[in-house]
């Protein structure tokens, strides 16, 4: 794997946790298990994984939990980009309606550098994204929420390493669509129980150079900046053909990133309302000026 890149130490700090969170959701695309669960017999491993995208979304809605760890000392080539080693654990949870494109999600980020621990709240209603974190009040006039066009936010997240990426919307479809970028062979592993459900594991690699899905979970720009061409992915699929768990683990720029997403409680109720208008600021200017990205930076 190529480890040299155009990223500066400052860029690397900005990438965390934004890129780490994006990679975290990326992990949600994979799952692990063995044997052939009911409903999967007769399919090749690749077809079972590809079919799981539609089957999972056809469930209507789901609960989502994510966890990502980032450890190591950031490096730029062979030079240390920071004298301080990182040992971060970021978690998130929420619900999402595939049918209504609506969900709510919270991400907990640990204290790092000069930044205290914080929780970021996200609400997605169609193309409307609302986000709230204590650090917002310093730049948005004191209002607890900001509103953005989801498409505008995703485009920005896909073109830079600053703002939190697709994880911010709690939209697991971003992760599932990455499965269409499987490169090389896909293998079937052993069976495993995930959340009390019998599953089969499939292993493959996501090609980050093709960009065939247009996903912003890990954009081509970010992948190129980090020197990533592909990453391993494990997908656990249940007997109904739905993705239950996704994991990935890889190293880049001196850091080891391990990420996992679990999808379950299919058909769960999802009711999301927009915050009161007098508590919401327009986040477009914050996004364009880069202030929104700084809100999620470490240190």
Q: What pLDDT score does 150 carry? A: 77
pTM exceeding 0.85? no
The C-alpha atoms of residue 126 and residue 36 are separated, in whole angstroms, by: 36
Give me the CATH number covering residue 219.
2.50.20.20
Q: How far apart are CA 62 and CA 197, in angstroms?
A: 15
Residue 171: what pLDDT?
63
| Residue 1 located in a structural domain | no
Parallel, antiparallel or unpaired: strands 197-207 and 280-282: unpaired
pLDDT at 208: 80
Q: Kindly state whether residue 20 falls inside one of the protein's structural domains.
A: yes
Helical (H) or strand (E) element with 124: strand 118-125
Residue 132 lies in a domain: yes
pLDDT of residue 7: 41
- Mean pLDDT per 10-residue interval, the chain, length 299 residues: 38 45 37 36 88 93 89 68 73 90 87 75 89 73 82 59 41 74 88 94 87 51 72 93 90 82 93 92 75 57
Which residues contact residue 277 at a Cβ distance below 8 angstroms, ignoring those fewer than 6 apart?
Answer: none
Q: Report residue 165 CA to chain centroid gap.
A: 7
What is the total count of domains within the chain? 1
**Structural tokens at position 211:** 């960009």
State which H helix or E strand residue 153 sits in: helix 150-159
- Rounded Cα gap, residues 19 and 219, in angstroms: 10
- The answer to the question of residue 3 being in a domain is no
Q: Which domain holds residue 60?
A: 9-295
| Start-to-end CA span in the chain (Å) | 28
**Would you say residue 212 lies in a domain?**
yes
Asked whether residue 2 is domain-assigned, the answer is no
Q: What is the DSSP letter of 84?
A: S
Amino acid 272: pLDDT: 93
The widest CA-to-CA distance across the chain, in whole angstroms, is 59
């Amino acid at each position: 794997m190529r480890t040299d890149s155009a990223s500066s130490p400052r860029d690397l700090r900005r990438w965390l946790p934004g890129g780490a969170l994006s990679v975290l959701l990326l992990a949600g695309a994979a799952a692990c298990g063995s044997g052939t669960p009911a409903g999967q017999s007769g399919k090749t491993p690749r077809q079972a994984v590809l079919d799981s995208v539609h089957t999972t979304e056809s469930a209507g809605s789901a609960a989502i939990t994510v966890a990502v760890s980032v450890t190591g000392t950031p490096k730029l080539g062979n030079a240390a980009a920071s004298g301080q080693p990182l040992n971060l654990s970021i978690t998130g949870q929420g619900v999402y309606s595939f049918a209504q494109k609506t969900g709510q999600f919270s991400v907990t980020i640990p204290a790092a550098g000069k930044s205290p621990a914080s929780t970021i709240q996200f609400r997605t209603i169609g193309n409307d994204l609302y986000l709230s974190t204590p650090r917002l009040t310093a730049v948005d006039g004191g209002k607890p929420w900001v509103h953005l066009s989801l498409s505008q936010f995703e485009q920005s997240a896909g073109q830079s390493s600053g703002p939190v990426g697709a994880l911010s919307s709690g939209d697991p479809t971003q992760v599932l669509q990455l499965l269409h970028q499987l490169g090389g062979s896909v293998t079937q592993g052993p069976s495993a129980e995930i959340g009390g459900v019998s599953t089969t594991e499939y292993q493959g690699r996501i090609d980050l150079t093709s960009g065939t899905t247009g996903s912003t979970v890990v954009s081509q720009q970010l992948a190129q900046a980090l020197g990533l061409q592909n990453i391993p992915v494990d997908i656990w699929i249940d007997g109904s053909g739905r993705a239950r768990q996704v994991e990935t683990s890889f190293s880049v720029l001196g850091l080891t990133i391990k990420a996992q997403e679990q999808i379950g409680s299919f058909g769960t109720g999802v009711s999301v309302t927009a915050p009161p208008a007098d508590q919401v600021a327009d986040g477009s200017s914050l996004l364009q000026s880069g202030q929104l990205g700084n809100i999620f930076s470490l240190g």
